[in-house]
Amino acid sequence: MKKVNILLVDDDDICQLIGSKAILSMGLANEIHYAHNGKEALDVFNSYFCGEIAIPDVILLDLDMPIVDGFEFIRAFQQLKFINKEKVLIIITTSSISPYDVDKAHALGIKYYITKPLTEEKIRMAILQEFKPA
């Protein structure tokens, strides 16, 4: 499998640490960038547009965050205009098991909804489904 560029969006530093350790131990990441809320995540895309970083292939996105939550980020992301946007995989990573949140995520076009804690197995299941070896 090719290594992917990942944007990990979570306001909890411990969850970011656990997620990044799982990703790094699997050898999946080319680059990992971090954001503590949806606004910071959108700022990461500004860095992409300026040519400072590579576009994320995968966004691991928490839902419950301050300033701009996960659902608000998804709606803002869907309004962005850039080449190959449809190839960016957004994976919800949340502690919410609410059927309302699951349905809302699916209605917004999100295929993968992973409940915390993040584990190698959960991350691998989603990423490898989409980025299978050639």
Tell me, what CATH number does 72's domain have? Answer: 3.40.50.2300
Provide the pLDDT for residue 104.
Answer: 95
Number of domains in the chain: 1
One-character DSSP codes across 6-75: EEEE-S-HHHHHHHHHHHHHHT-EEEEEEESSHHHHHHHHHHHHTTSSPPPSEEEE-SS-SSS-HHHHHH
Q: What is the pLDDT of residues 20-41, one digit of tens each?
A: 888 888 888 888 999 999 999 9
Q: What is the pLDDT of residues 86-116, one digit of tens each?
A: 889 999 999 999 999 999 999 999 999 999 8
Pairing outcome for strands 58-61 and 4-9: parallel
Provide the pLDDT for residue 133.
Answer: 59
pLDDT at 78 over 80: yes
Residue 1 banded pLDDT, cuts 50, 70, 90: low
Q: What is the pLDDT of residues 38-69, one digit of tens each?
A: 999 999 887 787 777 788 999 999 999 999 99
Look up the domain containing 93 and give its range. Answer: 4-130
Provide the pLDDT for residue 107.
Answer: 96
